[in-house]
Amino acid sequence: MQREVGSLPLAPALRARLVAAGFQTAQELLETGPCGLSKEIGISKEEALEALQVVRQACHGEAARTAGASGATRKCTALELLEEEQAQGFIITFCSALDNILGGGVQLTKITEICGAPGVGKTQLCMQLAVDVQIPECFGGVAGEAVFIDTEGSFMVDRVVDIATACVQHCQLIAEAHQEEDHLKALETFSLESILSHIYYFRCRDYIELLAQVYLLPDFLSEHSKVRLVVVDGIAFPFRHDFEDLSLRTRLLNGLAQQLIIIANDHKSAVVLTNQMTTRIGQSQSTLVPALGESWGHAATVRLIFHWDNSQRLATLYKSPSQKESTIPYHITSHGFRDVQPPAVTQNAEDTEMNPRKRPRREEET
């Protein structure tokens, strides 16, 4: 296993010293041992020991992979991935049109970005998703918990109470209509209190707190392994004010994006980010574009843009690896994020995304 010293995750100063002393491969480092190493480079024995630990981990990580251990590796064939993807659930949004264009709902293990002008409903959708992720599996949900990282302070608990109450009612109606045992059993644990207690809320006031929170999130998630949704409401806000060094901002944002992808992948959870819009002034006209620049556009796998058309709210799927670009209208009611109801049809449409094969005969009010 001839790992080059330059490719090991060591501190740059240490690496420079190692290369200057003539070490080329990890093998040589391991053979020299901590005492020899500390004498050669002029570092303390503890530092040498630490460095060798890192080297050993990197090399043995490889050895474990070549031996076929599957735990930490992320290697598989496309066929296995396909099976995994199809077995994965989606987080529904209660708006069947939006679920359709997303291919079933918000996907797990991917980053979804929602961009929109202020007031168009991004935070509403985030709160709806934080409730929807907890829907039990027998009703078509993923039965997970949610982490909500708030940077703008727009999280309103009373609104979440409204949304959660409506969701619980919805499930109760379905359970009554079908009278299946697992439905009723699930309903015992699915109540307003349990929903609220499973939303973990973090408030970050500036970008340093946000970065720290995201980098500390893996530890939190390993303790709370049922989390299936991480929402960062307002990723643009801390990075747009008083940031003089734009290259630093790009670096930090890219590092953040990679960390979020790792979280989404390792913990099989969906990551939802909301972004603001900014104006790009062109030659003859100005247009609204998502904030944070071009390079940020590459971070998210799925991108939704919410915008207004007179007084109708529209959602456009702008970027997706497997779905076509399309636009649908949606509605925000007192119960949360919903479809736009065509005026003549009754309100049965809302139940279909829960259990598409069976239509409850009961009507419900909006």
Partner 1 sequence: AAWVASPQLRGRAVAFAARVGEDPGQDGARSPLPAPPQVSSLLPAPRCSGPGLARAMVVLRAGLCPGLTEEMIQLLRANGIRTDLASNFLSLMLFAVVDFVSSDLEDVAQKCSLSYKALVAVRRVLLAQFSAFPANGADLYEELKSSTAILPTGSPSLDQLLDSGLYTGEVTELMGAPGSGKTQVSGTEEGRGQVCLSIAASVSLGLKQHVVFLDSTGGFTASRLYQMLRSRAEDEEELASSPGAVQWSQRCSWGGGKCGGNKGPWLHGMLEALQRVQVVRVFDIYEVLSALQELRDRLSQQVMSSMGPLKIVVIDSVSAVIYPLLGGKQSEGLAIMMQLARELKTLAREFSLAVVVTNQVTRDSSTGPLKPALGRSWSFVPSTRVLLESKEATWEKATTQRVASLAKSPRQPTGIQVELDTGNGDVQEPSPVTPTQGL
Q: Would you count residue 104 as binding partner 1 (CB under 8 A)?
A: yes
CB of 82 or CB of 208, closer to partner 1: 82
| Cβ at position 113, least distance to partner 1 in Å | 10
Residue 172 beta carbon to partner 1: minimum distance, rounded to whole angstroms: 22
- Binding flag, residue 33, partner 1 (CB under 8 A): no
Query: Burial, 361: exposed, middle or buried (Cβ in 10 Å; 0-12, 13-18, 19+)?
Result: exposed
- Least distance from C-beta 272 to partner 1, angstroms? 14
> What secondary structure letter does DSSP report for 335?
T
Question: In the stretch 43-82, what mask flags binding to partner 1 with x, by CB under 8 A?
Answer: ---------------x--xx--xx------xxxxxxx-xx
For residue 357, give both structure tokens.
């094969």
117: nearest Cα among 251, 285, 308, 333: 308
Whole-number minimum distance, CB 146 to partner 1, in Å? 20
| Residue number with CB closer to partner 1 (127 or 263) | 263
Stretch that binds partner 1, among 125-133, 159-167, 188-196, 325-333 (CB under 8 A): 325-333
Select the residue interacting with partner 1 from 356, 358, 359, 362 (CB under 8 A): 356
d(CA 159, CA 165): 10
Residue partners of 106: CB distance under 8 A and separation at least 6: 90, 91, 92, 93, 112, 129, 229, 270, 272
Q: Among residue numbers 81 through 100, which ones bind partner 1 (CB under 8 A)?
A: 81-87, 90, 92, 96, 99-100
Q: How many CB atoms lie under 10 A from the CB of residue 131?
A: 29
> Is residue 35 near partner 1 by the rule CB under 8 A?
no
**In the complex, least distance from residue 107 CB atom to partner 1, rounded to whole angstroms:** 9
Which of 250, 333, 341, 347 is close enough to bind partner 1 by CB under 8 A? 250
Distance in Å from the first CA to the final CA of the chain:
64
Residues 6+ apart with CB under 8 A from 246: 293
Decide the pairing of beta strands 336-339 and 106-107.
unpaired
- When the beta carbons of 46 and 325 are compared against partner 1, the nearer one is 325
**Secondary structure class of 327 (helix, strand, coil):** strand
Binding-residue pattern over the window 252 to 281 for partner 1, x denoting contact by CB under 8 A: x-xx-xx--xx-xx--------------xx
> Using CB under 8 A as the criterion, what x/- string covers residues 280-319 for binding partner 1?
xxx----xxxx--xxx-xxx-x-x-x----------x-xx
Q: Provide the minimum distance between the beta carbon of 259 and partner 1 in the complex, in angstroms, as a whole number.
A: 8
Check if the beta carbon of residue 131 is closer than 8 Å to that of residue 94: no
Site for partner 1 in 201-240 (CB under 8 A): none
Single out the residue of 217, 242, 244 nearest to residue 232, CA to CA.
Answer: 217
196/252 with CB nearer partner 1 = 252
Question: Is the CB of 200 or the CB of 318 nearer to partner 1?
Answer: 318
Structure tokens at 354: 């829960």
Coil, helix or strand at residue 348: coil
Under the binding rule (CB under 8 A), the answer on residue 18 touching partner 1 is no
Nearest distance from residue 300's CB to partner 1, in Å?
A: 9
* Single-letter amino acid code for the residue at 163: I
CA distance 51 to 312: 59
Q: Which one among 165, 172, 194, 323 touches partner 1, defined by CB under 8 A?
A: 323
